[in-house]
Amino acid sequence: EAPVFDFTLQQPSGTRHIDARGGVVIIEGLHALNPALTEELPAGAALCLYAGLREEYADSSDACCLATRDIRLARRIVRDYLFRGHAFTLGLWGHVCAGEERFIKPYKPRANLLLDTTHTYEVCLWRTVLDAMPADPELTPVQARQLEALRARFDAFPALGTELVPQNSLLREFIGK
């Protein structure tokens, strides 16, 4: 039985039975690389894939000015605002990062394949999209400062409009059609 999560309500909304006999199951998310999910399968029956950003950006002094977590946060803020009906991503971000440290990083070496989801041009896109988002009155003063600091980290890059993103790009998951 696999839990089903309702992102707009931010709570589980039941379970779904998964029967993989004679088929393929794709498990995605925080616990996807956990060996507990595949330990009863025959050897070689599971293909583990880690998909994530691999590129960080540095300024002319080679100091990191934009980390992969900044890009991931921008992706998530925009996606959650546009498609999940809430804007409290900043309030959850610390928990997201803690979950990554606890449930993803220890199992990342289990991955058979690493997929780099970086789109080199996306740093120009996030500047445009974040700047176009309306102010969120529900942000705490600390969260508002965090969002402003995140926006400022994208200022070093020229702006790019969403119309230039190909319709079949993975980035459409975050910005829509």
Pairing of strands 2-6, 11-16: antiparallel
Q: Which residues pair with 12 in a beta bridge?
A: 5
Distance CA(20)–CA(70), nearest Å, equals 37
Percent of the residues in the chain that have a pLDDT greater than 70, as a whole number: 97
Which value, to the nearest 10 degrees, does the dihedral of the CA atoms of residues 99, 100, 101, 105 take? 140
Distance CA(138)–CA(86), nearest Å, equals 10
**Closest alpha carbon to 172 in 88, 82, 57, 92:** 82
The pLDDT, as a whole number, for residue 31 is 82
- Report whether 41 contacts 50 (CB < 8 A): no
The pLDDT, as a whole number, for residue 86 is 67
Distance CA(129)–CA(148), nearest Å, equals 13
Please write the tens of the pLDDT for every residue from 30-89.
Answer: 788 888 888 888 888 888 999 999 888 877 777 668 889 999 999 999 988 888 766 678
Q: Which residues pair with 2 in a beta bridge?
A: 16
Q: HSE on the CB side for 143, CA within 13 Å? A: 16
| 3-class secondary-structure state, position 80 | helix
